[in-house]
Every structure is written in structure tokens, then in C-alpha cells.
């Protein structure tokens, strides 16, 4: 199984600041066939189901604000949230869907000071 190591476990920032969340996979998620990285990012607000933010490592899902930016390739990936808003209070997870079984990172809890 591909292991997804996500960091940090939690972070607290003030509105307007920038945060970065990291995810490292134990194997490359880059498909040689189409040059796409099979890495997604999810946001889970309290009491809600996860919502897809980013797919193919850097493509924003429709309707997701452009302050959410995904980057990285191969085994190292980052979710950057610029100009953090109070509504961004949530848990964030990465998911590899390159090979079965798909696996999630352990999550990052974002708190707003």
C-alpha cells in the first residue's frame, strides 16, 4: 500500500495569513502515461462530509476559491491556503488514487486564532 505522510498535525493562524500543508507519498503518484499526479486534497468542515478542493495535485475543483493552491509532483505535494479566512476552519486531507487501495493522509487541523 502507498503510505501518505501528512504534516503538520495541526496549525493555528490569523485571518489573512498563509498556510502550507504537506503530503509525502511512499511511491510516486505520477502516471507515465498522462503525466498526471493522482493526488487530491479535501476540506472537511466540522460536522460535514469531505469536499474535494484539488485534483491531479494542482487542478482546482469548480467553485473552489483561488486562494487554495495545490502543487508538487512525484512524491511531494503541498496545499497552500493564502489569505486564510475564518470559513477555512476545517480538517484537510490528501488522498492518493494512483493505485489500490487508495489511501488518505492522517489529516491537518486548521484553527483560526
Partner 1 sequence: EVKLLESGGGLVQPGGSLRLSCAASGFTFTDFYMSWIRQPPGKAPEWLGVIRNKANGYTTEYNPSVKGRFTISRDNTQNILYLQMNTLRAEDTAIYYCAEGAGDYWGQGVMVTVSS
Of 14 and 62, CB closest to partner 1: 62
What does the binding site for partner 1 look like in residue numbers (CB under 8 A)? 1, 40, 42, 49-52, 55, 61, 93, 95, 97, 100-107
Residue 11: C-alpha distances to residues 25, 57, 94 (Å): 21, 22, 16
**Residue partners of 35: CB distance under 8 A and separation at least 6:** none
Of 51 and 78, CB closest to partner 1: 51
Of 17 and 37, CB closest to partner 1: 37
Amino acid at each position: 500500500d502507498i503510505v501518505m505522510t501528512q504534516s503538520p498535525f495541526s496549525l493555528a493562524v490569523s485571518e489573512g495569513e498563509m498556510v502550507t500543508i504537506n503530503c509525502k507519498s511512499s511511491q510516486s503518484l505520477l502516471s507515465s502515461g498522462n503525466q498526471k499526479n493522482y493526488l487530491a486534497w479535501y476540506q472537511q468542515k466540522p460536522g460535514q462530509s469531505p469536499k474535494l478542493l484539488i485534483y491531479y495535485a494542482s487542478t482546482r475543483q469548480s467553485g473552489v476559491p483561488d486562494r487554495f493552491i495545490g502543487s508538487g509532483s512525484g512524491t511531494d505535494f503541498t496545499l497552500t491556503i493564502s489569505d486564510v479566512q475564518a470559513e477555512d476552519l476545517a480538517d484537510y486531507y490528501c488522498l492518493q488514487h494512483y493505485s489500490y487501495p487508495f489511501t488518505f493522509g492522517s489529516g491537518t487541523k486548521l484553527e483560526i486564532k
